[in-house]
Amino acid sequence: MWKHYHIIETIDELVAKLADQQAPTRIISGGTDLMVEMHNGKWEELEVILDISRIAGLDQIWRDSDGCIHIEALVTHNNAVLSSILRDAAYPLVQACWRVATPQIRNRATIVGNLVTASPANDTITPLMALDASLVIVSKSGERMVKLADFYQGVRKTVLKKDEFVKEVVFESMKPSQIGNFKKSALRRAQAISTLNGCVLLDFEGERIVDAKITLGSVAPTIIHALEAEKFLVGKSLTPDVTQTAGKLAEAAVKPISDVRASQEYRYYMVGVLVENCLNEIENRDPEIKVPRRPAVLDTHNRNFTHPAANWNGEVIQTVINGERFDIADQGQRNLLGLVREKVGLTGTKNGCGEGECGACTLHLDGMAVVSCLVPAPRAHNAAITTVEGVSKNGHLHPVQQAFIDHAAVQCGYCTPGFVMSAVKLLEEIPEPDHETIREGISGNLCRCTGYYKIVEAIESVASANGRSA
């Protein structure tokens, strides 16, 4: 893994480190992509990690006096889902964020990180391209602004220089006359990379379209505009013939490939279907992806939560786990899962896939559920962690643990600690979730024994008890 791990606490410190750094270096906040890549043997040459997750005040979403929206570098996908500003004036972006991975990953993964990774399958690029977003890029030399459309040079290639970082995303608020819609085609509901995705943003004057943006992902080396389809829609009203023709024109804009997720032929066909469905849903004012008013994000920490100063010497991780203080001599060359299991000996947190797919390693980090295999161990420094061993109190099982026993929601048992930790956080956040909210809350956890019905039943029983005691 890495040789040096630095916890950065100010933008000035980050800029100075980037300017002076000669060794292979990566900036991380969530680190969800990087940790997967490391798990799979990539980045052997990486020497330095600059962790910016402790920079205070860089996690804001705000609107300036000109009506432009600013999304700062540490804003996570779940931050976006909860944002009233984005729900009001950038709803397609909220739709995209809601469909990224799982609640545990959305608690760590940032929008800016998603953009910088530069995969054409990344979901947030598509709506932000339609919104004509720009990036504020910072280095020791100062700031520059780059249109998102000009930021990409190919698959995982950007114009970002080695001494620069993306400080924020900026774009104009949607006008009242605009309606947008995001759609995603994937192999499953959660934890799925797009086979293709798209965003349609229309500006209306009455029933007539006066401006159109159609952006498509996972169908070319970068996110693209379906330019001919956009031009065709201007001046027209949405009718079945219009939507069908726009879909056909969108097909002509793409250059898909075949890969493990979909064939070239399937992507060609689905582009037309996706665009038509987007347009039909806009006409009916009924998008398929509806973000709940009270979404399950598995995070109960204060939105204004500020991490204590890191003050990390790069050698000893000082942390609190289940209310107990630990000083762990560790060079940071492992993930939080390894630290909890191997250094502290709390083996209830299970090592399943090692790349954020199964949820068996779910624990609570500063009030939010995360998959610990994707969290660098140094993130534990000056943090509060709860594992499955810590949810029971005074010798009594947590109601969720007891419900799993009472409803036989355990088969082989390997996945159970992760499910318990997700369910505990869900019920803290939403004491009486409905059936669909429960399913969403545990969507980041897999049971190979297919015991989902009993698991949902157990959680529902605790929710019912919460309702009776309210």
Single-letter residue type at 423: A
For 69-78, write each residue's pLDDT tens digit: 999 999 999 9
Give CA–CA dist 206/203, Å, rounded.
10
Give CA–CA dist 336/302, Å, rounded.
22
DSSP 339: I
On whether residue 89 sits in a domain, the answer given is yes
On whether residue 465 sits in a domain, the answer given is no
Q: pTM higher than 0.75 for the full model?
A: yes
On whether residue 256 sits in a domain, the answer given is yes
Asked if residue 163 lies in contact with residue 139, where contact means CB atoms within 8 angstroms, the answer is yes
On whether residue 427 sits in a domain, the answer given is no
On whether residue 36 sits in a domain, the answer given is no
- Radius of gyration for the chain, computed over Cα atoms and rounded to the nearest angstrom: 23
* Digitized pLDDT (tens) for each residue of the chain, 470 residues in all: 788 899 999 999 999 999 999 999 999 999 999 999 998 888 889 999 999 999 999 999 999 999 999 999 999 999 999 999 999 999 999 999 999 999 999 999 999 999 999 999 999 999 999 999 999 999 999 999 999 999 999 999 999 999 999 999 999 999 999 999 999 999 988 989 999 999 999 999 999 999 999 999 999 999 999 999 999 999 999 999 999 999 999 999 999 999 999 999 999 999 999 999 999 999 999 999 999 999 999 999 754 445 555 667 778 899 999 999 999 986 556 899 999 999 999 999 999 999 999 999 999 999 999 999 999 999 999 999 999 999 999 999 999 999 999 999 999 999 999 999 999 999 999 999 999 999 999 999 999 998 899 999 999 999 999 998 86
On whether residue 448 sits in a domain, the answer given is no
Enclosing H/E stretch for 4: strand 4-7
DSSP 33-65: HHHHHHHTT--TT--EEEE-TT-TT-S-EEE-T
Give CA–CA dist 360/126, Å, rounded.
31
On whether residue 218 sits in a domain, the answer given is yes
Question: For residue 155, what are the domain limits?
Answer: 57-284
| Number of domains forming the structure of the chain | 1
On whether residue 68 sits in a domain, the answer given is yes
What residues contact 242, with CB distance under 8 A and at least 6 apart?
A: 232, 233, 236, 279
